[in-house]
Amino acid sequence: MTSNIRYKSRIPVKTEDSTEEKQYVGFATLPNQVHRKSVKKGFDFTLMVAGESGMGKSTLVNSLFLTDLYKDRKLLNAEERINQTVEIIKHTVDIEEKGVKLKLTIVDTPGFGDAVNNNQCWKPITDYIDQQFEQYFRDESGLNRKNIQDNRVHCCLYFIPPFGHGLRPVDVEFMKALHEKVNIIPLIAKADCLTPNEIKKLKDRIREEIDKFGIKVYQFPECDSDEDEEFKQLDKELKECTPFAVIGSNTVVEARGQRVRGRLYPWGIVEVENQSHCDFVKLRNMLIRSHMHDLKDVTCDVHYENYRAQCIQEMTSKLAQDNRMESPIPILPLSTPDVDTEKLIKMKDEELKRMQEMLTKMQQQMHDKDQ
């Protein structure tokens, strides 16, 4: 059972009426022209999933995008995991639907929260996000901007275990470390082990704690005043339902005469796409069908711009202090640099150096002008 969020097409059909035709210039086709290009190019989206092992992250991703990204995964046992640090693993899959191409990148964070001492276990994750911002900043400031690859993380699904009584310290610290770098959407994982009442209590508790600790999770944008009532109602329900309590499944079962994704228990069948069983459909609709574009926009306009502003300010203050012409952008260590990469890095560094000098001079000039 799927539900679609409707959008009214605002482009009127060209009427046969000659007076309408007379006034018609034709630039109402502009959105179509824009979209034609985008459809040709295709879209991309980077989704990060974070949470302890066994929260059902991989299963949920498979359920959301109808793929099987983790076919050959080997699950480690407890001993093997003792010395494991948090890794960052990317999976990319190309999905096409009705002529629209999406390059989906899933950033997985195995090892998060699994150790005995989980101090700062989010650092590799924040470093990764910063790295992508930095890469984009360099590319954007460079000379040849034709084919910039956008690897910035557009959204982070954070899985909260359903077994506790709300947010744990690691949940709070993680979200606080990331809320100004990426759009966080907290989820209650494996929601099929809770009764509806328990879910409600847990959601209320979590919402309270998010407020209390000042965690800035992703906010759905306000509805336009000219949207129809049904849409506004749906939007309101969506907002009141967070954090979404989700269930995922890699298997197909037979329920009520239909084949659906679900989990078969002796006491009944949990259907993933049944709205009275869990919020999976709400999550999917929000993530893919109504807010995917907004998630990307907020990443570009807010999180990235914050990073960039911070970066530039650090650069200009450092240059003013030291009065030396050095590249103050912290170069994060790359894993295995080889000769070619090193050359490329050197070239890019020089390019960047020139850029920084030029930038600083400009800032100085503007600063002097203001005074």
Least distance in angstroms from the C-beta of 228 to other proteins = 13
Q: Which of residues 49-68 bind other proteins (CB under 8 A)?
A: 64-68
For other proteins, which is the closer residue by CB, 37 or 324?
Answer: 37
Binding mask 180-209 for other proteins (x = CB under 8 A): ------------------------------
Look at the chain and count its residues. 371
Least distance in angstroms from the C-beta of 357 to other proteins = 7
Least distance in angstroms from the C-beta of 25 to other proteins = 5
Angle at 11 between CA 5 and CA 17, to 5 degrees: 140
CB 125 within 8 A of CB 17: no
For other proteins, which is the closer residue by CB, 100 or 332?
Answer: 100
For other proteins, which is the closer residue by CB, 65 or 158?
Answer: 65
- β-partners of residue 107 are 48, 90
For other proteins, which is the closer residue by CB, 204 or 314?
Answer: 314
Which member of 16, 99, 116, 229 binds other proteins (CB under 8 A)? 99
Instruction: Give the integer Cα–Cα distance in Å for 316 and 47.
Output: 33
Torsions phi, psi of 340, nearest 5? -65, -45
For other proteins, which is the closer residue by CB, 90 or 212?
Answer: 90
Tokens of 296: 């990307």
For other proteins, which is the closer residue by CB, 206 or 283?
Answer: 283
74-82, 110-118, 237-245, 281-289 -> range binding other proteins (CB under 8 A): 281-289
Torsions phi, psi of 217, nearest 5? -80, 170
Which member of 16, 96, 211, 222 binds other proteins (CB under 8 A)? 96
Least distance in angstroms from the C-beta of 244 to other proteins = 16
CB 138 within 8 A of CB 348: yes
Q: Which of residues 20-39 bind other proteins (CB under 8 A)?
A: 22-39
Q: Which of residues 308-347 bind other proteins (CB under 8 A)?
A: 308-309, 312-313
Helix/strand/coil for 186: strand
CB 94 within 8 A of CB 102: yes
95 counts as binding other proteins under rule CB under 8 A = yes
For other proteins, which is the closer residue by CB, 132 or 290?
Answer: 290
Cα–Cα nearest to 149, from 41, 70, 244: 41
CB 189 within 8 A of CB 202: no
Helices (H), the chain: 18-23, 30-41, 57-65, 78-81, 123-141, 169-178, 196-212, 229-240, 280-284, 292-298, 305-322, 339-370
Least distance in angstroms from the C-beta of 170 to other proteins = 32
Binding mask 125-164 for other proteins (x = CB under 8 A): ------------------xxxx------------------
For other proteins, which is the closer residue by CB, 256 or 369?
Answer: 369
Instruction: Give the integer Cα–Cα distance in Å for 91 and 104.
Output: 8
Find tokens 């929000």 and name the residue: 286
256 counts as binding other proteins under rule CB under 8 A = no
For other proteins, which is the closer residue by CB, 36 or 239?
Answer: 36
CA within 13 Å, CB half, 187: 33
Burial of 48: CB neighbours in 10 Å, binned 0-12, 13-18, 19+? buried
Inter-helix orientation angle 169-178/123-141, to 10° = 10
For other proteins, which is the closer residue by CB, 67 or 118?
Answer: 67
Q: What sign results for the dihedral spanned by CA atoms 172, 174, 175, 179?
A: positive
The 8-class DSSP code of residue 191 comes to G
Least distance in angstroms from the C-beta of 213 to other proteins = 28
Which member of 211, 224, 338, 340 binds other proteins (CB under 8 A)? 224
Which member of 88, 102, 115, 172 binds other proteins (CB under 8 A)? 102
361 counts as binding other proteins under rule CB under 8 A = yes
131-139, 202-210, 297-305, 319-327 -> range binding other proteins (CB under 8 A): 297-305
Helix/strand/coil for 265: strand
